Structure 1
Amino acid sequence: MAHHIPRSHEITSSPLLRTLHTQVLYLGKLNAIVTEILPAIKTQCQVASYVNGVLTLQTHNSALLGQLRYLQAHYLKQLQSHKVFSRLTRIQFMLSEDLQTPRAKHDAAKPLSADTKKLIIEAAQSLSDVELSEALQRLAR
């Protein structure tokens, strides 16, 4: 199934798309300001939101997260010097999954050997707990 990419006239005619488009542009401008003021985090962070004086920056690097939190007060002062962030009261950091990195693939569970099945059934038969016994027997099948 092909994805439909809205044309500019479709964006302006749909209130939802217009709102989303405005939000994307706003976040892009905020991101440009943050990376201008804090060039050290340019490739590691991006602006997720700026609401009610709270700037949320997201990173894909869990090792960097601790360093960012440690430098939070320093970054707060630097960002407050810019007029856009003059009412900034707090910076919060969040770890987000990197969509570019493929997830680890899990191998399908290997079938139980005949010996293992036999052991599980024997263990199930020796139990007084009926529910657990039945669950183990289902596992062995």
Structure 2
Amino acid sequence: MTDDLPPLPLWRVADAQARRAGLEPVPSPTAAPAPKKARAPRRKRPAPAWSASVHVFPIARRRDFVARHAARMAELSPRAAEKHLETQMRIQRETMQRRGVAPDVIDRELASMAGAIRAALIGIGGSEGGAA
């Protein structure tokens, strides 16, 4: 019957012998943690210097974009409409910056976009009850 049992680990035998002799118990060995793999420090890579220039299709000529935002602004109060326009300008600025558009081009396009949306908004407001 004792042949069926697996052999005891050596530390358990030593622990039992120490206890019988009235000595301190032998602590169980703990598995040593696996050594951590050394990682190379992560560095931010600088943005590549592009040799090509990015040309942007004029936002003011995107008729569906201009009409959609002018219609949305027409439904809002003047204060909310200005906030909506500022939000859209911020979104467009971030998108163009991500795509690598030059800052002066971004400023020019956003001014053009705001003017086109405001002109479309005036067109929407003037067509509802103007003099015929």
TM-score, normalised by the number of residues in structure 2: 0.28
TM-score, normalised by the number of residues in structure 1: 0.27
Of structures 1 and 2, the larger Rg is shown by 2
- Which structure has the higher relative contact order (CA within 8 Å, separation 6+)? 2
